[in-house]
Structure formats: C-alpha cells, structure tokens
Chain A
Amino acid sequence: MSSLKELSQRKGGITSGHRLCSGCGAGIMARQVMLAAGNYKVVVACATGCLEVATTIYPYSAWKVPWIHNAFENAAATISGVETAYKSLKKQGKIKKDLKFLAFGGDGGTYDIGLQSLSGALERGHDFLYICYDNEAYMNTGIQRSSATPKYAATTTSPYGEVISGKREFRKNITEIVAAHNIPYVAQTAVGYWNDLVTKVEKALEVKGPKFINIFTPCQLGWKYGPEKTLEIGKLAVETGFWPLYEVENGKYKINYKPQEKKPVEEFLKIQKRFNHLFKPERKEKLIQEIQDNIEKGWTELEKKEKCLN
C-alpha cells in the first residue's frame, strides 16, 4: 500500500482540462488508477463512454501515457492485440522496456456490448488489467439503462410512472461472471475508498495474466445528486452492503471490509433522485424492502464463498 505522500510524488497519468462533469466519479477513479500505476510504463485503451469522450476531445488529450481510442465494444480486444504485438517485438529484441497494459470501459462497454471481447481476452490469458468503471447506465449518450443499472433506478429508457417504477430487473453480477473465467485476480472497489482502490490496482499490476477490477463510480448527472456528494454516495453503497469491497485471488474470496452493522439501503437510495419515486409522493415500502432483501441475499452468498473458498 502506498501513502498519499508517496502517491503525490508520482507522475499522474491523467491531467486537468478534461471535460467530465464537475464532481464526476470517473475523474476521481481515473486519477487514482493512474497514480497507482504511476511507477510503471503503461499503455491504455479506452472504450467509448464518458471517460474516453471527455478526456480526448480533439485536439486535446488529458492522458500523459500512450493511449488508444477504440470502439464502444472492444477495449479488451484492442489491448489483447497491443499486448500480443508487444510480446512479439520484445522477443525480436525490438522493444526493451517493460510495459503494463490497461483497458478502461464503462458498464455499458463492459457488462453489455463489450462482454464478448472481454471474455475472449480473459480466456486467452493476455497480460492486462481491465478496469470497469461502473456508473450504472449509459451516461455519455444520455442515461440509458444498462445491465448494471440497479432495480427501480429511473433512467431515460427505464422511466417511472403509473405502470413501472424504474428499471424492472436486478443488475447483472459481472464481477462473478469474470471470476468464473478463473483468472488470477478479480476485485471490486469504489470511489470514496482511495486506499482500497489504489491497493487493488497496485496488487493487480504485480500479477501476470488477466486481471479485472470493477469500480463503483457515482455519476452526479445520471444519478441526480449534488456534485459534492460523489464520495458520500460511494461510501453509502459500501456501508449498506449494496456494493461489497472484495477480491478473488486465484479463486480465493476475501471481503475487504465488513461494516459492523450495515446501514439500511434507503440511506443510499434517498439521496439520489433516480430513486425519488420510491419515496414520493408516497413511500413504496415493498419495493424498498425488495432491494434490501436482495442485498442480504447477495451478502450471505458472498460470505459463504469467503468461508468455503479460501
């Protein structure tokens, strides 16, 4: 683990002047990941999404490392190709440097359209770290639901009204889907926990083979809260058990933080206007309870995995 003083002496990989919204969780996530990677020479590929678009508006770039734009659906395929070319050039003696390979994708680019290319890259065993910054919808195109959008969240394609109360389905558990590829390192972390985030990225970069970190990344525009609340929302997601911080290292599960007493999920829900309809005009107890029960179920399953698989 690196201290903040140490990190502050590193050359960051991403700088000011990008056009992410004020208070955007993706800006925090990207800075922290790139600081954690700051002792290495890295090559980055970014799937289309807010991070990619807002940091590279022509003729500007906020990146201070070799960086590749690619389509929405294939960051993992692109980085596979780069890593393979690197291996070949290294073998031929044409490259001497040691490089690390990083891919960033939003939840749309990872859980949905990029799942196939991600799965392929994991199965082929490329040496790279995939970062999914999960802001729980397609934000860059105007807040459409994705398979990461939580149940009952309102988005432009899962609105609330008399017939439905926001998204009708529970979210997909991509972290477990990735873990099922039996890769050496899989983890979940969140914006609001710089220490956990940096530690996991540093750890992942030391491991050979495919690595995956899923980062809970609040989006003030899509989740509808004041920009100063980004860290608080990340913390509430963890304190309520909505987003457990855990890792799977060579198949062994470890929950990195267990709240002594989990906060009720409504504390997380009620400060985001995307869940407004669960509280106004009248409180929808059944729906809130359904979310709460789902958290308990997920947490119990995770604890069982930690107990059996370690």
Chain B
Amino acid sequence: MSKNILHSWKNTPLASRVEEGSSKNFKTGSWRSKKPVHNKEICTNCLQCWINCPDNAIKVKDGNIDKIDYDFCKGCGICAEVCPVKAIEMKNEKDE
C-alpha cells in the first residue's frame, strides 16, 4: 500500500481553497459558433442585453454598453433577440 494513503480524519486536509470568481480563468468563448456584433451607433444603452446575458459577457461602463467580452460569450443569441432596436447582429464566427 502506498504511504500516501490518509489513515484518519485527523490528517485529512480540512478543505481546499478555491478563489472567488476564479472561473474567469476558464475561457468559454471557444464554445461559440455565432458571434454577436454590437453597433454603438444604433444602441440606445437600454441595457436589456446586459441584464439578460447568461454569461455576464456584456460589459457596461458608466451606464453604457462598453463591449462584448468574446473570451466568455457563448454565442447564444439572447442579446440579439432581446435588443429592441436590433443593435446586435449574430454573425457566423468564421466569417468574422
């Protein structure tokens, strides 16, 4: 038997530590097949896309849409559907 086997609860580590929000180190952008492209000219900054993005991938600065974070956006298309003025267009990932 290996010497590394833990023999009792006394030498079992209490817990491992996981940093808060560390999933930021795991990029999910590669899941995407379609890419939302945001048009600042048309956008009225109503923030409907921001509040409804499941992946927190729409960045807001001082109450305005700043950018879409392609490191994490999974390309679901919810933002484009919910935008009342069609300021987000879903494009094919490979065409971009």
Contact A230-B55, Cβ < 8 Å, known A17-B27, A58-B18, A59-B22: no
Contact A228-B24, Cβ < 8 Å, known A8-B47, A194-B51: no
Contact between B51 and A227 (Cβ–Cβ < 8 Å)?
A: no
B16 at the interface (CB under 8 A from A): yes
B78 at the interface (CB under 8 A from A): yes
B63 at the interface (CB under 8 A from A): yes
B35 at the interface (CB under 8 A from A): no
Contact between B21 and A15 (Cβ–Cβ < 8 Å)?
A: yes
Q: How far is the CA of A28 from the CA of B76 in the complex (A)?
A: 12
Name the one of A27, A58, A194 contacting B55, with C-beta atoms under 8 angstroms: A27
- For the complex formed, measure the closest distance between the CB of A190 and the CB atoms of chain B, giving whole angstroms: 12
Contact with B along A1-37 (1 / 0, CB 8 A): 0001101110010111111111111111001100100
- For the complex formed, measure the closest distance between the CB of B42 and the CB atoms of chain A, giving whole angstroms: 18
Name the one of A19, A23, A59, A63 contacting B16, with C-beta atoms under 8 angstroms: A59
Contact A63-B81, Cβ < 8 Å, known A5-B63, A194-B51: no
Q: How far is the CA of A4 from the CA of B58 in the complex (A)?
A: 13
Report the interface size class on chain B.
35 or more
B26-64, CB < 8 A from A: 26-28, 31-32, 46-48, 50-57, 60, 63
Q: How far is the CA of A55 from the CA of B76 in the complex (A)?
A: 18
A58-78, CB < 8 A from B: 58-65
**Nearest-CB residue, chain B, relative to A230:** B78
Decide if the interface of chain B is mainly helix, strand, loop or mixed. Answer: loop
Residues of chain B contacted by A228 (CB below 8 angstroms): 76-78, 80-81, 90
Contact between A32 and B51 (Cβ–Cβ < 8 Å)?
A: yes
B95 at the interface (CB under 8 A from A): no
Q: How far is the CA of A21 from the CA of B55 in the complex (A)?
A: 10
Residues of chain B contacted by A60 (CB below 8 angstroms): 18, 22-23, 25-26
- For the complex formed, measure the closest distance between the CB of B85 and the CB atoms of chain A, giving whole angstroms: 15
Residues of chain B contacted by A24 (CB below 8 angstroms): 54
Residues of chain A contacted by B60 (CB below 8 angstroms): 8
Contact between B31 and A22 (Cβ–Cβ < 8 Å)?
A: yes
Residues of chain B contacted by A12 (CB below 8 angstroms): 56
Contact A17-B26, Cβ < 8 Å, known A22-B75, A62-B21, A230-B78: yes
A123 at the interface (CB under 8 A from B): no
Residues of chain B contacted by A62 (CB below 8 angstroms): 21, 23
Across the A-B interface, the 7 shortest Cβ-Cβ residue pairs: A27-B54, A228-B77, A17-B23, A23-B76, A16-B72, A22-B74, A4-B47
